């Protein structure tokens, strides 16, 4: 886990330093891949009772990973792939979340959900900031689309969090 964390710290630094759309998408794709791998590795470490949650997160991240690969192969994106993009200064939340945490031996559902929520929040803010820093056009539309995707996922997780944590106490 700590090894992966170091890898992601490097990835984060790369994200800050890169300027072309291609490089941004590469780092973002890597961001999704490592998240998928993180959740996949976590599956056997959690109780079967809450395994559905980690499996769903892994599946969701796989979907994001596939999406980024498709985007990279999209002709309209390909045409813009070398275009320089003013990458905004990523906020500290994004920095915190890009480093994979140690959730402990046998994390419970609340721990997993809190981590996932923080990560989705950071991704949403990052893509929103990227969208705001680009002019109208294909690249802007791309980041708006990605921000919306992350927002939807975050909202779904928030609903689940409320059901899991704030239930049964009435």
Partner 1 sequence: MSDIDYKEKGSILNPLKSLQFFARKAVTEPLEPRLASLSYRGFHLNDWELCIGCSSCQKVCDNAAISMIEIPGLPSDPLKGVRNQRPAIDYGRCCWCALCVDICPTGSISLSREYVHTCTQEEIDSYFILPDPNGIHKKFYGYGWRKVADSDLLNLKRGEMGERSADQRSDNFDEIVDGYSLEQAVAEASRCVQCGMCHDACPTHMHAPEYIRAIWQQDMEEAVRQIYRTNPFSHVCGRICTHCCETACSIGRRGDPVAIRWLKRFAMDSLDHETVKAIAAQDKVDYLSGKQIAIVGAGPAGLTAAFDLVKLGHQVTVYEAQAEAGGMTRYGIPEYRLPFDMLDQDVDVIISLGVSIEYNTRIGVDIELSQLQLDNDAVLLALGLQLGRSTRIPGSEHAQVTKAVDLLRKIAADEAFDVPRSAVVIGGGNVAMDIARSLARLQRQQYGESRMTLTALEDLAHFLADPVEIKESIEEGIEILDSRGPQACEIDEKGRLIGLRTWKVLSIFDEQHRFAPSYDESDEQLHAGEMVIEAIGQMSDVSLLGDELTERLEWNRGRLQVDEAGRTSEAWLWAAGDCVNGPDVVHAVADGHRVAASIEAVLGQQETDHES
Binding region for partner 1 (CB under 8 A): 47-53, 109-110, 114, 155-156, 158-159, 161-162, 164-170
Report, in Å, the least distance between residue 155 CB and partner 1.
Answer: 5
Report, in Å, the least distance between residue 59 CB and partner 1.
Answer: 14
Report, in Å, the least distance between residue 156 CB and partner 1.
Answer: 7
CB nearer partner 1, residue 32 or residue 109: 109
CB nearer partner 1, residue 51 or residue 83: 51
**Torsion 110-44-56-143 (CA) sign:** positive
State the Cα angle at 101 between 127 and 17, rounded to 5°: 40
CB nearer partner 1, residue 19 or residue 162: 162
CB nearer partner 1, residue 84 or residue 156: 156
Report, in Å, the least distance between residue 167 CB and partner 1.
Answer: 5
Give 5-12's long-range contacts (Cβ < 8 A, gap of 24+): 5/99, 5/100, 5/101, 5/102, 7/34, 8/34, 8/98, 8/99, 8/100, 9/98, 9/99, 11/98, 12/90, 12/94, 12/95, 12/98, 12/99
């Amino acid at each position: 886990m700590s090894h992966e964390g170091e890898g992601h710290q490097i990835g984060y630094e790369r994200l800050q330093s890169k300027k072309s759309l291609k490089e941004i998408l590469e780092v973002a794709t890597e961001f999704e891949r490592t998240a998928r791998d993180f959740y996949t590795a976590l599956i056997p470490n959690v109780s079967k009772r809450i395994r559905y949650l980690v499996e769903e997160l892994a599946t969701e991240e796989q979907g994001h990973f596939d999406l980024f690969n498709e985007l990279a192969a999209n002709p309209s994106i390909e045409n813009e792939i070398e275009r320089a993009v003013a990458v905004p200064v990523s906020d500290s939340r994004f920095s915190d979340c890009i480093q994979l945490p140690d959730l402990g031996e046998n994390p419970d559902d609340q721990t997993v959900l809190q981590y996932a929520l923080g990560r989705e929040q950071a991704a949403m803010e990052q893509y929103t900031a990227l969208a705001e820093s680009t002019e109208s056009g294909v690249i802007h539309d791309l980041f708006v689309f990605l921000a919306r995707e992350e927002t939807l996922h975050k909202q779904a997780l928030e609903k689940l969090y409320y059901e899991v944590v704030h239930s049964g106490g009435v």
